[in-house]
Amino acid sequence: MTETDLTIPDRSLLGFPVTPYGDDGELALDQLATQSEVLLSYGARALFVGCGTGEVQCLSLEEHERIVRASVDATNGRVPVFGAAAFGLPNAVDMVRRAARAGASAILAFPPYMSTLHQAALLSYYERLADESPLPVVLYQRDGVVFSRDTLLRLAAHPRIAGLKDGTGAVEVLQAQVSAVDDPNFFFFNGTPTAELFAPALGAVGVASYSSALLNVVPEFAEDFNKAFLAHDTETMQHYTKEVVLPFVELRDRVAGYAVSLIKEGVNLRGGSVGPVRGPLPTPTPADREDLSRWLTSIDLDTPLRPKGGVDAEREGVTV
């Protein structure tokens, strides 16, 4: 149970915006506001800014703070805004303090270090971060950071540890964790790469909120998929998985880092002016960019991105 209520409804669609850069390579915060409107209008119930899809590893701590502040201003209390905490304990604590100062509602705590850590080290790292945090903290499980039952129970008992984002998609692990924590207020969510791919399986074990990177590029699709998910409409989800998700996954898997780079390039292809990714993320090759463009055309979503319901919205649904 946390000291601060995050007020994110169960079974929510969550947004992870890209970080826009201008022609000079600097942050383009006005574009961030535009992206936020798109995400919110298509159903995002919280925004995680400057996180994985937002190129956390490419930002300075100062830039991260500016992104959080701009997002808090742009969303104006309509949804919680999460900042990131990363890069080792001193930097992570600094990021938490900066995010709190900038008005964030909560923090997504990235894995502490590049290598696999034993459970005692994980427990100590996240407890110390949460002790220092004025904001609720959501743990991020992926790669070398998978919480054992005992570690997760200890962390979930911390008054400022509010939930867990899963990036593994390991159903058996999630099932055991959800059943161990057994607290409806602990916010588990599916944050796997291209989360729609895992949504039916993780939804079945009680992890029914998910973050959608595709919501940045094809919000019309992401909203329709989410409706099918919420309605337990397996046939529609399977259809969308075959026609939309798997073709994107085939592109995404061509180069490590494309899970972010192609999302950003997709926004650019739809007129979003968010600039290229920063290194070390890979710039899409011209051939892959062309294939991404073909994918958008194949699903009839190559029109300019607009917030839903805007006067000049070109379309509001997906046809595949």
Q: Which is nearer to ligand GLR, 151 or 190 (CB)?
A: 190
Q: What is the DSSP string of 43-86?
A: TEEEEETTSTTTTGGGS-HHHHHHHHHHHHHHHTTSS-EEEEE-
165 is catalytic: yes
**Helix 89-101 crosses helix 61-75 at what angle (to 10 degrees)?**
30
Shortest Å, Cβ 193 to ligand GLR: 5
Gap between the Cα atoms of 251 and 212, Å rounded: 17
Q: Which is nearer to ligand GLR, 280 or 286 (CB)?
A: 280
Q: Which is nearer to ligand GLR, 130 or 263 (CB)?
A: 263
Shortest Å, Cβ 150 to ligand GLR: 26
Shortest Å, Cβ 55 to ligand GLR: 9
Residue 53 annotated as binding site? yes
Q: Strand, coil or helix: what is 244?
A: helix
Q: Using CB under 6 A, list all residues that contact ligand GLR.
A: 16, 51-53, 167, 191-195, 211-213, 259
Q: Are 239 and 229 in contact (CB under 8 A)?
A: no
Q: Which is nearer to ligand GLR, 58 or 313 (CB)?
A: 58
Shortest Å, Cβ 17 to ligand GLR: 9
Nearest to 65 by CA among 92, 98, 32: 98
- Catalytic hit among 42, 125, 126, 165: 165
Gap between the Cα atoms of 107 and 156, Å rounded: 15
- Catalytic hit among 21, 140, 210, 258: 140
Q: Which is nearer to ligand GLR, 153 or 171 (CB)?
A: 171
Own/partner long-range contacts of 111-117 (Cβ < 8 Å, ≥24 apart): 111/140, 111/142, 111/143, 111/144, 111/145, 112/88, 112/145, 113/88, 114/144, 115/144, 116/143, 116/144, 116/145, 117/144, 117/145
Q: Are 31 and 61 in contact (CB under 8 A)?
A: no
Gap between the Cα atoms of 148 and 162, Å rounded: 17
Residue 241 DSSP label? I
227 is catalytic: no
* Torsion sign across C-alpha atoms 242, 11, 56, 128: negative
Shortest Å, Cβ 199 to ligand GLR: 9
Numbered residues of the known binding site for pyruvate: 53
Numbered residues of the known binding site: 53
Q: Which residues are annotated as catalytic?
A: 140, 165
